[in-house]
Structure 1
Amino acid sequence: MNKTSPRVTLYSTRQCGYCRQAKAFLQKKKVPFAEYDVERNRRAFNEFHRAGGRGVPLIVIGNRSFNGFQPKQLEKALRAAGFNV
């Protein structure tokens, strides 16, 4: 990540397998991110909906939102945002 890379946020739930895969992917690629459980955190639930969340996982990179976990699409978006993945 360089100094101009945007913030990455992962909205998830505990029982979501794709959420766990997305989290593992970000950790493996050493991408710093914040994770929020939309079932346990009302504020995160509201942010999730404002960001266009239709289901989990929702991954927000800067001002772009990605519904679901699609590794190739996510990697491409991270590279475009300035992350070295």
Structure 2
Amino acid sequence: MSDQEVVVYTSRNCAKCDQVVAKLSEWEIDYEERNVSTNRDHFKELQNMKIYGTPATFVNQEKILGFQERKLKRALGIQSTERFVDSDMMNYS
């Protein structure tokens, strides 16, 4: 459903990887999953980019490490209905 090229490097027993994949599916984003646990070539690809952990998501080659929902939304052009609230601004005297 998207025009972006989305590649997600995942590994076995990785809760954050599962979160990334679940969100992409929820948002109906087409993506390619590359599991580094089952394919040594995918592991080497990540190492060549100096990345040593998963998940590592690339949206049109923009790198997003870990599960960062706001960064994923921004990179994918998904409007966020959430607003950032600075808790320090909420402390009134």
Please, what TM-score do these two structures have when normalized by structure 1? Answer: 0.81
Give the number of the structure with larger relative contact order, counting CA–CA contacts within 8 Å between residues 6 or more apart.
1
> Residues 35-84 of structure 1: CA distance to partner in whole angstroms, max 9, x if unpaired?
011011011112222344231100011121111011111111111xxx68
Distance 1:15 1:75, change over 3 A: same
Percent of aligned pairs with the same residue?
29
State the Cα RMSD in Å: 2.0
CA displacement at 1:34 relative to structure 2: 0.6
Q: Tell me, which stretches of 5 or more residues in structure 1 are unaligned?
A: none
Greater Rg by CA? 2
Moved more, 5-14 or 23-32: 5-14
Instruction: Specify every segment of 5 or more residues in structure 2 that has no aligned partner in the other structure, as ranges.
Output: 81-93
TM-score, reference length from structure 2: 0.75
CA contact (8 A) 1:51 1:65 kept: no
Residue number in structure 2 paired with 1:27: 25
C-alpha change, 1:51 and 1:8, in structure 2 (3 Å) is farther
Residues 1:52 and 1:25: Cα distance change in structure 2 (over 3 Å): farther
What letter matches 1:13 in structure 2? Answer: S
